[in-house]
Amino acid sequence: RLALVQVPSVLPRYLELPTDDEEHTDLILLEDLIIQFIDSLFKGFVVESTMPFRITRNADMPFHEEGSRDVLKQIEKELKKRRYGVAIRLEVQQRSLRKELLFMLQDVLDLHDRDIFIVDGPIDLTFLFGIYSQIGIEYDDMINETLIPFIPEGLESGKDLFQSIAKQDYLLHHPYHSFDPIVRFIVQAAKDPNVLAIKQTLYRVSGDSPIIKALTDAAESGKQVTVLVELKARFDEEKNIQWAKQLEKAGAHVIYGYKELKTHSKITLVVRILEGGVLQRFIHLGTGNYNDSTAKLYTDIGLLTTNEELAEDATNFFNWLSGYGERPSWHQFETSPDDMKDFFLNKIEDEIKLHEKYGNGRIVAKMNSITDRAIITKLYDASSAGVKIDLIVRGICCLRPGIKGVSENIRVISIIDRYLEHSRIFYFYQNGKEDLYCSSADWMTRNMKKRIEILFPILNGSHKTYIKDMMALQLVDNVKARKQRSDGRYVYVKQENKEEEIQSQIIIHQYTGGRWNNIPSVFEREPSNWAEREVLRLRAENEKMTDD
């Protein structure tokens, strides 16, 4: 007979065992404890074998939208069905594998062999967060040194952020820069009597979000608050429904987005009125979510500005979303699903033509994943034409570099370190013009065709320099960077001739704090050992300056 026993989620995943050794802590996983005493659950039976397993189910929620309110109700209904979704993956422990049980589960769940994952170790390692938070403090030597985020001058606590942003644009690179100024930007807008309106897109926020509270306070005080809450943000649907209802109750105008499209854009618009009735617009644009918790772990770029063309685009963007009208013409934005893909294809084509004329073509792009066939094909064309291309792709990469005659001028690296690389940045040399853009979108078909995304330019020269330097450091990382080979496999970047380790995230933190200068740019030529040696030379100079 076959019996299924659920490992209770309401109990801790592990338990501490009593021990006489004060220097060590013994733990046992809950599933192992259940196995140890499984006979007590089945009196009168002999338990022949046990096997822990974990099922992953399809979390997509198919539904047909017939209006905003119907969307909310339908998602609430579909959420209850998620636990019964089609199984797409089965994980089992290697040490407790029982083939007869595995075959029975595979048959019941209708899974192919490729859907079976044999795990050498515990299943579902999320329990490690609990160990870290509860007993990890006892092992300080095993915990990464905390990197304290910086706050740019003018955005410190107690400063009038509107006054500071009106004087200059601010580029923030989280988590090297604190996310606190972004939260205070919303909070100050909610409290400022001169603020008429706050408009914002919300895809994911933290569990006890100070931004949601600020928007609620603003709506209750009579300000015009317009919030686009993306109900289809996977695994955050239930939480977003709660925020949406809370904001509506407070008097905010809540929008649920366009039919069959996810609104993935990260944008805030604040409208203030000055003496004489002059309107002043403040904009925040970003590559990541308005989540103050994940902002401590995800690397993202944010821009605070009053630039008139960006402000006009932001105003038109919210009018477009809230009015269900035709997409407006943009001054600086590019958006999907309409124009962004063609924009990228044209920029790559322009780089090819300029390279054919001047011989200095260069593309550097940083993103989470790249899957779009048309963009990959165009990058192959650029490589074949001789354009030097560097791609920093943390996750899925359907492009293959280093194929002779196809992609031999393309290099792909992936950096997996203490922070999740989440920013999307796109650089085109353009014969010295150096066009640089940030976006909420990856080079994925879903971002280009199934989501509302924003691409915005980096116009300030010092901001361009910072982003170029940051990516230059990542391109010479020899600690956490993995290089993709032409067969799709990844290998760690080798350290040449016992050179000092270059861990880009650590150095970027130092650079953001003003402890590094003159980082070498590797955008105009092929990255090579000269860049690594230059970084080491600069490190030695900075250390000497620190000692002095």
State the pLDDT at residue 528.
42
Higher-scoring residue by pLDDT: 372, 203: 372
Looking at 419-536, which runs of residues are DSSP E strands? 420-421, 424-428, 435-439, 451-457, 481-484, 490-492
State the pLDDT at residue 47.
93
- CA–CA distance, 110 with 89 (Å, rounded to integer): 10
- CA–CA distance, 519 with 153 (Å, rounded to integer): 22
Beta pairing partners, 452: 263
Residue spans of alpha helices (H) in 324-372: 340-358
pLDDT in tens, 126-174: 888 877 776 655 666 677 888 999 999 999 999 999 999 999 999 999 9
Higher-scoring residue by pLDDT: 20, 36: 36
State the pLDDT at residue 544.
55
| Percent above pLDDT 90 for the chain | 64
State the pLDDT at residue 541.
55
Please provide the average confidence, as pLDDT, over all residues in the chain: 87
By the 8 A CB rule, do 370 and 381 touch? no
Tokens read off for 251: 């008097």
Query: Residue 81 — very low, low, confident or very high, per pLDDT cuts 50/70/90?
Result: low
Query: Residue 122 — very low, low, confident or very high, per pLDDT cuts 50/70/90?
Result: very high
Higher-scoring residue by pLDDT: 204, 289: 289
Query: Residue 241 — very low, low, confident or very high, per pLDDT cuts 50/70/90?
Result: confident
Query: Is pLDDT at 498 greater than 90 in this prediction?
Result: no
Query: Residue 527 — very low, low, confident or very high, per pLDDT cuts 50/70/90?
Result: very low
State the pLDDT at residue 138.
61
- CA–CA distance, 257 with 263 (Å, rounded to integer): 6
* Distance (Å) of CA 176 to CA 152, 407, 436, 515: 11, 34, 20, 13
State the pLDDT at residue 540.
58
CATH of 161-331, one of 3.30.70.100, 3.40.50.620, 3.20.20.150, 3.30.870.10: 3.30.870.10
- Please state which of the ranges 107-121, 136-150, 375-389 shows the lowest mean pLDDT: 136-150
3-state secondary structure of 38: helix
Q: 406: burial class by Cβ within 10 Å (0-12, 13-18, 19+)?
A: middle
Segment 218-241 shows an average pLDDT of 80
Residue 209 DSSP code:
-
CATH of domain 336-547: 3.30.870.10
State the pLDDT at residue 144.
81
- Please state which of the ranges 167-181, 395-409, 441-455, 531-545 shows the lowest mean pLDDT: 531-545
State the pLDDT at residue 208.
83
Segment 94-112 shows an average pLDDT of 90
State the pLDDT at residue 294.
92
Higher-scoring residue by pLDDT: 178, 531: 178
Segment 362-384 shows an average pLDDT of 98
pLDDT in tens, 262-277: 889 999 999 999 988 8
Segment 315-333 shows an average pLDDT of 88
pLDDT in tens, 274-288: 988 899 999 999 999
Segment 108-129 shows an average pLDDT of 91
- Please state which of the ranges 10-14, 127-131, 374-378, 531-535 shows the lowest mean pLDDT: 531-535
- Please state which of the ranges 146-155, 195-204, 536-545 shows the lowest mean pLDDT: 536-545
Tokens read off for 429: 């040399």
Q: Indicate if 336-547 has the same CATH topology as 161-331.
A: yes
By the 8 A CB rule, do 524 and 505 touch? no
In the residue annotation, 422 being an active-site residue is answered as: no
Domain borders along the chain are: 14-142, 161-331, 336-547
Q: How many residues does the chain have?
A: 548
The H or E element that residue 363 is part of is strand 362-367
Query: Is pLDDT at 525 greater than 50 in this prediction?
Result: no
* Distance (Å) of CA 390 to CA 73, 279, 368, 440, 530: 45, 43, 14, 20, 17
* Given the residues 264, 355, 422, 509, the one annotated as active site: 264
- CA–CA distance, 313 with 188 (Å, rounded to integer): 23
State the pLDDT at residue 530.
43
